[in-house]
Structure 1
Amino acid sequence: MPRRIPRTALDRLRTPGRFPGFLKTASVCALIAALLTPLSPAVAADTGTAAVADHCGNQCSDILPPGQNGNATLAQILLNQAFGSMPAHASDQLGPYANLAIGHPALTNSTITNFFNDASFGVPADQVASTLKPAGRTDVTIVRDKRTGVPHITGTTRYGTEFGAGYAAAQDRLWLMDVFRHVGRGNLTPFAGGDPANQGLEQEFWRHAPYTEADLQAQIDNAVASNGERGQQALVDVEAYIDGINAYIDASDSGRYFPGEYVLTGHKDSITNAGTIEHFKPTDLVALASVIGALFGSGGGGEVNNAISLLAAQEKYGIAEGTEVWESFRMRNDPEAVVTVHDKSFPYAERPANPQGTALPDDGAVTAEPLVHDRTGSAATETAAATSASATKSAMSSARRGMSNALVVGGEHTASGHPIAVFGPQTGYFAPQLLLLQEIQGPGISARGASFAGLSMYVELGRGQDYSWSATTSGQDIIDTYAVELCQDDHHYLYRGTCTAMEKVERKNAWKPTTADDTPAGSYTMRVWRTKYGPVSHRATVDGKRVAYTTLRSSFLHEADSIIGFQMLNDPDFLNGPQRFQEAVRHINYTFNWFYVDSEHTAYYNSGDNPVRATGVDAEFPVWARPSYEWRNWDPAANTADYTPPSAHPNSVDQDYYISWNNKQAADYTTAPWGDGSVHRGNLLDDRVRELVQQGGVTRASLVQAMAEAGLADLRAEDVLPDLLKVVNSSPVTDTAAKAAVDKLSAWLTAGALRTETRAGSKTYAHADAIRILDAWWPLLVQAEFQPGLGSELFTAFTQNLPVDEAPSAAHGPTGAHAGSSFQYGWWSYVDKDLRAVLGEPVEAPLAREYCGDGSLSACRDSLIGTLKTAAAKTPAQVYPGDDGCSAGDQWCADSIVQRTLGGIKHARISWQNRPTYQQVVEFTSHR
Structure 2
Amino acid sequence: MAAPDTTAASDHCGGRCSDILPPGQNGNATLAQILLNQAFGTQPAHAEDQLGPYAGLATGYRGLTDATVNTFFNDASFGVPADQVASTEKPAGRSDVTIVRDKKTGVPHITGTTRYGTEFGAGYAAAQDRLWLMDVFRHVGRGRLTSFAGGAPANQGLEQQFYRNAPYTEADLQAQIDNAVAHNGARGQQALADVKAYLDGINAYIDASDSGRYFPGEYVLTGHKDSITNAGTIEHFRITDLVALASVIGSLFGSGGGGEVNNALSLLAAQARYGVEEGTKVWESFRERNDPEAVLTVHNGERFPYGTKPADPQGEALPDTGSVTTEPLVYDRTGSAATATAESTSAAAAQTVLGSARRGMSNALVVSGKHTAGGHPIAVFGPQTGYFAPQLLMLQEIQGPGISARGASFAGLSMYVELGRGQDYAWSATTSGQDIIDTYAVELCQDDHHYLYRGTCTAMEKVEQKNAWKPTTADGTAAGSYTMRVWRTKYGPVEYRATVGGKKVAYTTLRSSYLHEADSIIGFQMLNDPDFVKGPEDFQRAAQHINYTFNWFYADSQHTAYYNSGDNPVRASGVDAEFPVWARPAYEWRNWDPAGNTADYTPPSAHPHSVDQDYYISWNNKQAEEYTTAPWGNGSVHRGNLLDDRVKKLVAAGGVTRARLVQAMADAGLADLRAEDVLPRLLQVIDSAPVTDSTAAAAVSKLRAWVTAGARRAETSAGAKKYADADAIRILDAWWPLLVEAEFRPGLGTDLYTAITRNLPVDEAPSAGHGPTGSHAGSSFQYGWWSYVDKDVRAVLGESVRGPLARTYCGDGSLAACRDILIGTLKEAAGKTAAQVYPGDEQCAAGDQWCADSIVHRTLGGIKHGKIGWQNRPTYQQVVEFTSHR
TM over 0.5: yes
Cα pair 1:776 1:872 within 8 Å, conserved:
yes
Q: Match of 1:204?
A: 161
Q: Work out the CA distance in 1 between the residues paired with 2:67 and 2:554.
A: 24
Question: Which residue identity is paired with 1:500?
Answer: T
Q: Match of 1:576?
A: 534
Superposed, which structure 2 residues align to 1:127-146 within 5 Å?
127-146=84-103
Q: Which moved more, 1:44-53 or 1:637-646?
A: 44-53
Q: Match of 1:37?
A: none
Cα pair 1:45 1:131 within 8 Å, conserved:
no
Task: Select which of 170, 182, 195 maps to 1:225.
Answer: 182
Q: Does 1:663 align with 2:621?
A: yes
Matched position secondary structure for 2:141: helix
Task: Select which of 280, 285, 295 maps to 2:237.
Answer: 280
Q: Does 1:334 align with 2:294?
A: no
Q: Match of 1:415?
A: 373
Q: Work out the CA distance in 1 between the residues paired with 2:753 and 2:281.
A: 15
Question: Which residue identity is paired with 2:533?
Answer: L
Cα pair 1:183 1:291 within 8 Å, conserved:
yes
Q: Does 1:149 align with 2:109?
A: no
Q: Does 1:527 align with 2:485?
A: yes
Q: Match of 1:486?
A: 444
Cα pair 2:111 2:118 within 8 Å, conserved:
yes
Q: Deviations over 1:761-790 (max 9, x none)?
A: 000000100000000000000000000000
Q: Match of 2:338?
A: 380
Q: Match of 2:631?
A: 673
Offset of residue 74 of structure 1? 0.2
Matched position secondary structure for 2:406: strand
Q: Match of 1:921?
A: 879
Offset of residue 48 of structure 1? 3.0
Superposed, which structure 2 residues align to 1:766-777 within 5 Å?
766-777=724-735
Task: Select which of 622, 626, 629 maps to 2:587.
Answer: 629
Q: Match of 1:908?
A: 866
Q: Match of 1:709?
A: 667
Question: Which residue identity is paired with 2:630?
Answer: A
Superposed, which structure 2 residues align to 1:199-598 within 5 Å?
199-342=156-299, 343-598=301-556
Structure 1: runs of 5+ lacking an equivalent: 1-43
Cα pair 2:7 2:81 within 8 Å, conserved:
no
Q: Work out the CA distance in 2 between the residues paired with 1:206 and 1:450.
A: 26
Task: Select which of 753, 756, 762 maps to 1:804.
Answer: 762
Cα pair 1:378 1:523 within 8 Å, conserved:
no
Q: Match of 1:684?
A: 642
Q: Match of 1:751?
A: 709
Matched position secondary structure for 1:129: strand
Q: Work out the CA distance in 1 between the residues paired with 2:147 and 2:793.
A: 54
Question: Which residue identity is paired with 1:134?
Answer: P
Matched position secondary structure for 1:57: coil
Structure 2: runs of 5+ lacking an equivalent: none
Q: Work out the CA distance in 2 between the residues paired with 1:518 and 1:177.
A: 22
Q: Match of 1:39?
A: none
Matched position secondary structure for 1:547: strand
Matched position secondary structure for 1:805: coil
Q: Work out the CA distance in 1 between the residues paired with 2:332 and 2:41.
A: 41
Task: Select which of 44, 50, 74 maps to 1:87.
Answer: 44
Q: Match of 2:783?
A: 825
Offset of residue 734 of structure 1? 1.1
Q: Match of 2:750?
A: 792
Q: Does 1:102 align with 2:59?
A: yes
Cα pair 1:479 1:554 within 8 Å, conserved:
yes
Q: Work out the CA distance in 1 between the residues paired with 2:823 and 2:539.
A: 53
Q: Work out the CA distance in 2 between the residues paired with 1:301 and 1:191.
A: 30
Q: Match of 1:176?
A: 133
Cα pair 1:298 1:475 within 8 Å, conserved:
yes
Q: Work out the CA distance in 1 between the residues paired with 2:858 and 2:470.
A: 24
Cα pair 1:45 1:130 within 8 Å, conserved:
no
Cα pair 1:45 1:129 within 8 Å, conserved:
no
Question: Which residue identity is paired with 1:208?
Answer: N
Q: Does 1:849 align with 2:849?
A: no
Question: Which residue identity is paired with 1:477?
Answer: D
Cα pair 1:347 1:667 within 8 Å, conserved:
yes
Offset of residue 379 of structure 1? 2.7
Matched position secondary structure for 2:235: coil
Q: Work out the CA distance in 1 between the residues paired with 2:565 and 2:474.
A: 41
Q: Deviations over 1:416-442 (max 9, x none)?
A: 000000000000000000000000000
Q: Work out the CA distance in 2 between the residues paired with 1:163 and 1:77.
A: 28
TM-score (norm 2): 1.00
Offset of residue 45 of structure 1? 6.3
Offset of residue 46 of structure 1? 2.5
Q: Deviations over 1:574-613 (max 9, x none)?
A: 1100000000000000000000000000000000000000
Q: Match of 2:577?
A: 619
Offset of residue 885 of structure 1? 1.1
Q: Match of 1:865?
A: 823
Matched position secondary structure for 1:561: coil
Question: Which residue identity is paired with 1:756?
Answer: A
Q: Work out the CA distance in 1 between the residues paired with 2:314 and 2:263.
A: 16
Q: Work out the CA distance in 1 between the residues paired with 2:206 and 2:687.
A: 67
Offset of residue 839 of structure 1? 0.2
Q: Does 1:877 align with 2:835?
A: yes
Offset of residue 402 of structure 1? 1.1
Q: Work out the CA distance in 1 between the residues paired with 2:846 and 2:425.
A: 48
Instruction: Quickly say closer, same or farther: Cα 1:45–1:366, change in 2 above 3 A.
Output: farther
Superposed, which structure 2 residues align to 1:15-164 within 5 Å?
46-164=3-121
Q: Work out the CA distance in 1 between the residues paired with 2:42 and 2:464.
A: 43
Q: Work out the CA distance in 2 between the residues paired with 1:494 and 1:228.
A: 37
Q: Work out the CA distance in 2 between the residues paired with 1:716 and 1:506.
A: 45
Cα pair 1:289 1:455 within 8 Å, conserved:
yes
Matched position secondary structure for 1:326: helix
Q: Percent identity?
A: 83
Cα pair 2:119 2:415 within 8 Å, conserved:
yes
Q: Work out the CA distance in 1 between the residues paired with 2:639 and 2:629.
A: 15
Matched position secondary structure for 1:209: coil
Q: Work out the CA distance in 1 between the residues paired with 2:630 and 2:791.
A: 21
When the two chains are superposed, the root-mean-square deviation of aligned CA atoms in Å is 0.6
Q: Work out the CA distance in 2 between the residues paired with 1:583 and 1:153.
A: 27
Question: Which residue identity is paired with 1:774?
Answer: L
Q: Deviations over 1:130-176 (max 9, x none)?
A: 00000000000000000000000000000000000000000000000
Q: Which moved more, 1:373-382 or 1:294-303?
A: 373-382
Q: Match of 2:772?
A: 814
Cα pair 1:612 1:643 within 8 Å, conserved:
yes
Q: Work out the CA distance in 1 between the residues paired with 2:635 and 2:474.
A: 46
Q: Work out the CA distance in 2 between the residues paired with 1:368 and 1:84.
A: 43
Cα pair 2:622 2:630 within 8 Å, conserved:
no
Q: Match of 1:720?
A: 678
Offset of residue 518 of structure 1? 1.5
Q: Work out the CA distance in 2 between the residues paired with 1:663 and 1:518.
A: 42
Cα pair 1:379 1:524 within 8 Å, conserved:
no
Q: Work out the CA distance in 2 between the residues paired with 1:256 and 1:265.
A: 16
